[in-house]
Amino acid sequence: PLIPINMIKKDTKHKHVAAQNLFLPTVLQLFWPKGGPLPEGLVDDILKVAEGKGSLPPPPALAAQGSASMSPETPAHRNSDNLPPQPQHELLGREEDLASLGQHLGASRDLRLMGLWGVAGVGKSALALRHARDFMSGGPNRVAIWVNAESEASIKASYLRVLEEVLDVNVPAGTDALSAQEIADQHLHPALQNLDMQGVEWLMVFDTTGPSSNPSAEGDLALLASNFFSSLAGLKGDIIFTSRRRLTRGCSICGGDVESWQVQPLDEATARDMLLYGSAGPSSASIQPDQSEVQAAILLARRVGGLPLVLKMISSLRDDRNQTLKQVADGYGSDMEEGGGNSVYKLVKHTLEFARGWDGGITADLLDVMAFLVADLIPVELLLRI
């Protein structure tokens, strides 16, 4: 079941809205480029903003350009197919999920809608991203479109960027004054139909559709409907939605039936192998670990409950400090409950405390700001950077 996770510290005055706005992916990517070092002083600036005591300085890239044409609300387009950067870790244990997703979406040339849902950190966006990259590798006449669906503003920004920089549509002046749905109907819908007529296959991903006030409630995609197409008539591509709220079987949007699929945590054996052998998993060339490492991996796998997010955090910490799994397990102590699926906050919190002891607190302090959000509001792009 989808587990509501309250990640708000009771002894702090930090506000949800400040932290949520701060960690919008369109803002964060300008301050912390993927793969780059954490900018000096960023953590202090972030904490001041979250406490309402200041504002962030201009991102280094924007300050260097001295241009007002780029802003955190309108980030630079990153690649021709509009996909986020590939995560550092592969999708170990998701081979069957990827195959099933490809079979379902590749079954015909009709419009197909798929909804992936599950708890924060379980790997919905990573699964959709891998499918999108596999889709793009299938031939030259393919287009993949990634829409940040966390808010109406992010959806509008994604639509406009896609139209101008992916689909090469000459968008009339003043289009940004339209609503997201008006932009979709008046410009994006005919552009996609044009692709269909040219024999170009296309895939759209609406990533992290809007949060619900009650994250544990079952629901559909109604929160997205007002920012989506008002009609799906004439469209023949694939559309994937990812959601941290439960999607009921048979849910629909704009009259189109959505196949609902819950993304499950990794099983214990896969989680163990990810810790022992890395994201590629075991192979004939793998060096066999000693028994103490195997036992440590089993213990850690049980504690994280198969959540890829926490597995990645553990692997990153281990690799950065050249630690053994036994040292990591010993560092975690014995106070963690096994089978952490019901105590995700406890696991993440413990991981952050562990990180603070290793690197002087910089990484942990930055990630700790995420704890001022409920889990359903943690920006997915930040999770993909871990």
Alpha helices in 80-188 (DSSP H): 95-105, 124-136, 152-161, 180-183
Q: How many whole angstroms separate alpha carbon 324 and alpha carbon 37? A: 24
Q: Provide the pLDDT for residue 353.
A: 60
CB 128, CB 384: distance < 8 Å: no
φ/ψ of residue 221, rounded to 5: -105, 30
- Average pLDDT per 10 consecutive residues for the chain, totaling 386 residues: 33 41 49 52 60 56 42 38 66 83 80 87 86 87 89 89 90 93 96 92 88 54 87 94 83 88 90 82 75 91 78 72 79 52 51 55 47 44 45
Q: How many whole angstroms separate alpha carbon 307 and alpha carbon 122? A: 5
Degrees to nearest 5, angle at CA 353 with 303 and 39: 125
DSSP letter assigned to residue 219: B
DSSP letter assigned to residue 79: S
Domains of the chain listed by start with CATH number: 95-262 (3.40.50.300), 268-385 (no CATH)
Tokens of 18: 């400040």
Q: Provide the pLDDT for residue 324.
A: 84
CB 209, CB 149: distance < 8 Å: yes
Other Cβ atoms less than 10 A from the Cβ of 324: the count is: 14
Q: Provide the pLDDT for residue 84.
A: 77
Q: How many whole angstroms separate alpha carbon 328 and alpha carbon 275? A: 11
Q: At a CB cut-off of 8 Å and minimum separation 6, what does 272 contact?
A: 294, 297, 298, 301
Please classify residue 95 by burial: count the beta carbons closer than 10 Å to its beta carbon, then call 0-12 exposed, 13-18 middle and 19+ buried: exposed
DSSP letter assigned to residue 71: B
Tokens of 10: 């009771």
pTM for the whole structure: 0.69
CB 165, CB 146: distance < 8 Å: no
Q: Provide the pLDDT for residue 74.
A: 35
Alpha helices in 32-105 (DSSP H): 42-50, 60-65, 95-105
Q: Provide the pLDDT for residue 291.
A: 93
3-class SS at 255?
Answer: coil
Other Cβ atoms less than 10 A from the Cβ of 105: the count is: 19
Q: Provide the pLDDT for residue 229.
A: 96
Other Cβ atoms less than 10 A from the Cβ of 279: the count is: 17
Q: Provide the pLDDT for residue 190.
A: 96
